[in-house]
Amino acid sequence: MSAMEDAPSAWAGRQIVKVRRLAGGWNVSNSLIGESRLYGSRRQAEQHARSLAGRIAKMGFDSRVDLHDEADALVGTMWFWRDTGPGRPSEASPAP
């Protein structure tokens, strides 16, 4: 593995916010912020993940929300782009 592959995603200008099912609820986590929160519903977790990814984009990082299902399979991805100008949305369309 190269040094670039070992580098935290913050160095590459990208961050990932993960939504995963854990015992007792849905977890939202991100390594840059060092945040990990548990929510009672997937909907609440997804809302927080979008908000967190938007804040990270305002900090100057492209950010991505990875949505996992109950079996931990990736079921969706949303991008939030850094440095968006006025009138340009920061959220990209979810992946199929």
53-95 confidence digits (pLDDT tens): 999 999 889 999 999 999 999 999 999 998 655 444 455 545 4
88: which DSSP letter? S
Q: What are phi and psi of 18, to 5 degrees?
A: -105, 140
SS3 8: coil
SS3 80: strand
pTM for this structure? Answer: 0.73
Specify the DSSP element, H or E, that contains 50: helix 42-58
What is the residue type of 66? D
The pLDDT, as a whole number, for residue 12 is 57
Specify the DSSP element, H or E, that contains 6: helix 3-6
Domain segments of the chain as ranges: 10-80
